[in-house]
Amino acid sequence: MALLEIDQLQVHFRTPDGINRAVDGVSFHVEAGETLAIVGESGCGKSVTAMSMLRLIPEPPGKIAGAIRLNGKNLLELSDREMRQIRGNDISMIFQEPMTSLNPVLTVGRQIGETLRLHQGMSKAQAEAKAVEMLTLVGIPEPGRRVREYPHQLSGGMRQRVMIAIALACNPKLLIADEPTTALDVTIQAQILELMRDLKHRVGAAIVLITHDLGVVAEVAERVVVMYAGKKVEEAAIGPLFRNPRHPYTQGLLGSMPKLGSSLHGDETRLAEIPGLVPSLKQKIPGCVFASRCPHATDLCRSVAPALELKAPNHVAACHYAPREGAMAA
């Protein structure tokens, strides 16, 4: 049994203009100790999927359907009180913006200790000692002094390390990282990614990494789910997906990445671009969600939605014309 199983997840929002299908029938799983990346451009449903795992979608206007199983237990069937025991304890989340996610009027130590006192029943002194230990674990210098400081007194990289310390304080089984390096410069980004890799091996937590940056994915993930317009369009291990992407959208994402050193060798090839705009998620799309932007789309694509099919071992894609490996095609 996988640690986390998402089965036909649907997250819809009721708006004055109609139903917004932010996530529409997405399924995947995460094994214990594995790092799974969910990638796609802004608005594809990545963060909504992550928030759904913690049941942080307000109902109404939101509505979650399908199944989210943690160790076989469907989180959508739990009461609010039971979910509060899951959040921060079994599943933790690192949010995008540490400056807005951290409470500006509480010290760093108190914010780490709050989780420990709630879930572990620690005293104030025990929680502060553990907070110092967690800051040491995530590589913050002078942790004994930092626990008494406020978020505005820390740099962006330190604030992100504090967020990681809070998330890992109760030794969760699953860590959800929503764009953990977006607001950081390249040097600090590399340090945070290295820290996440190191901590994963130390604490043994599985990681769901939400990002639009394929460079980050290549650094830390083992398997990738590609989302577009609320749907999963491709899933594979890192190596096969980067070497031989099957879906035109994944090919477009990889083609739009700049190649290191290309200008030094006189290669002035323009970066590939994906023409057009993401379709409105308030309209039911009869065919492939990517058809309006796909250079290979036919009438079949515009009228019949492709199913997710096995195109190679452990490699699925939702495309009528995605190539299959010879043995599988036979």
pLDDT at 327: 46
Q: At what angle do helices 108-120 and 156-168 cross, to 10 degrees?
A: 10
pLDDT at 209: 92
Q: CB of 19 within 8 A of CB of 282?
A: yes
Residue 267 has pLDDT above 70, yes or no: no
Say which residue, 119 or 5, is predicted with more confidence. 5
In angstroms, the CA 223 to CA 233 distance is 14
In angstroms, the CA 199 to CA 118 distance is 23
Residues 6+ apart with CB under 8 A from 283: 18
pLDDT at 138: 84
Percent of the chain with pLDDT over 90: 44
What confidence tier does 330 reach under pLDDT thresholds 50, 70, 90? very low
- H helix or E strand, kind and range, residue 23: strand 18-30
Cis status of the peptide bond prior to 286, with omega within 30 of 0:
no
Encode pLDDT of 286-305 as tens digits: 899 999 999 889 999 999 99
Q: CB of 166 within 8 A of CB of 95?
A: no
pLDDT at 269: 65
Q: Where are the domains of the chain?
A: 243-257+271-330
Encode pLDDT of 99-154 as tens digits: 778 889 999 999 998 888 888 888 888 988 999 988 988 888 898 899 999 999 98
In angstroms, the CA 176 to CA 190 distance is 18
Please return the burial class of 313, using the count of CB atoms within 10 Å of its CB with bins 0-12, 13-18 and 19+: exposed
| Average pLDDT value over all residues in the chain | 87
Q: Which of 39, 330, 314, 307 is nearest to 322 (CA)?
A: 307
Residues in the chain: 330
Q: Per residue in 86-123, is it b (16+ CB within 10 Å) or e — as a string?
A: bbbbbbbbbbbebeebbeeeebbbbbbbbbbebbeebe
Cα dihedral: 110, 112, 117, 118 (round 10): 110
pLDDT at 168: 83
Residue 252 CA from chain centroid, whole number: 20
pLDDT at 166: 87
Encode pLDDT of 187-228 as tens digits: 777 877 887 787 777 778 899 999 888 888 888 899 999 999
